[in-house]
Structure 1
Amino acid sequence: MRLKDKVAFITGAAQGIGAAAATKFAGEGALVVVADINDALGRDTVGLIRSQGGDALFVHCDTTQEDSVEAAVEAAVTHYGALDILYNNVGGSTPNDGPVTTVAMEEFWRCIKLELLSTFLVSRHGIRAMQRAGRGGSVINTATYVAVIGTAGRDCYTAAKGAIISLTKSMAVEYAPDRIRVNAVAPGAVVTQRMTDFYAKNPTHPVFAESNRHRRPHVPSHLLGLIETEDIANMALFLASEESRRITGTIQLIDSGATAS
């Protein structure tokens, strides 16, 4: 097993990409901490893992509030004794994002909190736990392909995710002496319920405009088709495992060729 007895703390693990990663990590022997603000769905994910013979714990965690993050990490360490893997999966574009000239400042700060602040806070307390354990670790952040190529109509989101790319690189240098690796996954357009719901409610949003080829409903720029949650979970598993022991400070694109097309 690739993650046998490793303790993995995954944020936003109640559904979508986070839940896919949680079940995959558990299947590879990890002791999984499902951290989420949605208690009901989080416990469902834990139940699924346990039904498949895995070991998991749910902790309530609002990743934008430091007290909540600190308590969640402490609960994980108290239960499992250490922390080896930290997957900062929480995020996603906010509903009223837009161009820098027109978007409300409240939306900008909302996005910064959801994306950048949450990554910062969970890393802050998660890495402290890794340092105390003294056995190294792997941190996996979440960026996006549009932070690399740009996109219309989501200036807050791309700014926050671009900052995560920079943070990932600086953290990789900072914590290498502790044998803590830091990388980021950068997904393309992922087929999730959240994406489907957003399009259904906002079909005229600029991200779906014909002029924005990277986010049209059929996304033809994704050469091998839209991304599935399993694709992201597979990359996260690789970055969490010893197979990537010499990889740090990288941004791993899982974009079906979108940045090349």
Structure 2
Amino acid sequence: MLGGMAQQLPLDELSMLIARIRGLLLTEEKVVAAVHSLARAAKDSVPGTIGAGVSLLDSRGTRTSSGYTDSIVQQADAVQYELGEGPCLTAWATEQPVLVRDVHGEHRWPEWRRAVQQLPVRSVVTAPLIAGKEAIGSLKLYSAGPHTYDGSSGRLLELFAAPAATLIAHIQASEAPQKLTEGLRQSLYSRDVVNRACGVLMERQGVPHEAALRQLIKEARDRGATLQQVSEAVLSGPPAPRA
């Protein structure tokens, strides 16, 4: 079980695994090759994982590049980004690891859960790829058994994701410098703004945080706007009438 592995993994061994990821990415010249290398390294390093994937996202939550180790990952991810909901999008939007102990008992993303019920996927852990102050995507692991991952799994995955995000951002910059211009940096969402907008929707509509976040992501995709722009519109709107 990965939870036990994360707690018992010697520091020098963990450092070697992270160094391996650094080495793999530094030898790649293209983003597509880099994300595939990162996915393979993550899968090989985590027992119980049947597939791993990496998705790079723009400010609307739309994939710009992806890499995966198995077709199962490709299918589970494709459904998620088509629906605009799921653990990886939530990890990207909240900039926090997301854990799914058992897909069959998951209620945060009802449409995604129904769509992947027929796949041999029972547990998921995903972490955001954060380069500087920007969330540029997510790294995710899938297991065929329930309760394969726990809270320490997310923390371990973050250790892989942190250096990988920085390196991938550098590769992106070398391929297309305009992607990291100041204008784009300013247009990317602020986690604080998104969280406050979720809070407003939760109070107005009486919905949980996940449902409010799904609504913001869907509106951003439908309008072709950024998550920050949609969130700012919610915050600047008229207050809900008092009962």
Indicate whether the TM-score tops 0.5.
Answer: no
Q: Give the helix-richer structure, 1 or 2.
A: 2
